Amino acid sequence: MAKPSPLHWETHEYEERRRSSDWFWAVGIITLAVVVTSIILGNILFALVILIGGFALILYAVRKPQKIDVVVDHRGVVLDKFFYPYHTLESFWVEEHENHPRILIKSQKLFMPYLIVPLGDTDIDEAREQLSHHLPEVFHSESIFHRLLEYLGF
């Protein structure tokens, strides 16, 4: 059996969201409330961590998504500069019912169990065929926590 040719596409790393000024006000107010509460309770270090975290969250929210290169070949999956060989991956699922189709790849890593790869303009069937040569197709869905964070605009 001949090796299938590598599949290559370019996509944004995540879906860009428009956030209103109310979203930024809410994040700022919640951050300040937690900071003031932790200072009152005498935990200055936690207040500092929350303040830095809130600032980092706002900086990340205004950042534009960058374009990444995705390559699926006979060795594994390459997402921009990161290579994931097939022996570290368990299975995949193609979500095509949403406005933005994407591939969910289950990894063996504990702290990053799923890779979520936007398909962009790539043919869904071609991506499915390329991955099915190396990984089983098993139904996966994003966690409720991940969907909740997307709904809240994070």
Give the mean model confidence (pLDDT) for residues 81-110.
85
Asked whether the predicted pLDDT for residue 1 surpasses 70, the reply is no
102-116 residue pLDDT tens: 888 898 887 778 888
> Right CATH number for 7-14+67-151 from 2.60.40, 1.10.760, 2.30.29, 3.40.30?
2.30.29
What residue type is 138 in one-letter code?
A: V
Write the DSSP string, 38-106.
HHHTT-HHHHHHHHHHHHHHHHHHHSPPPEEEEEE-SSEEEETTEEEEGGGEEEEEEE-SSSS-EEEEE
Question: Mean pLDDT highest for which of 29-43, 61-75, 140-154?
Answer: 29-43
Q: How many whole angstroms separate alpha carbon 10 and alpha carbon 152?
A: 27
CA-to-CA separations, 82 to 70, 71, 76, 100, 112, in angstroms, rounded: 10, 10, 10, 22, 13
Q: Which long-range contacts (CB under 8 A, 24 or more apart) does 81-86 make?
A: 84/115, 86/134, 86/135
Residues in the chain: 154
Q: How many whole angstroms separate alpha carbon 64 and alpha carbon 19?
A: 12
Residue 68's pLDDT is what? 87
Read off the pTM: 0.71
Asked whether the predicted pLDDT for residue 2 surpasses 80, the reply is no
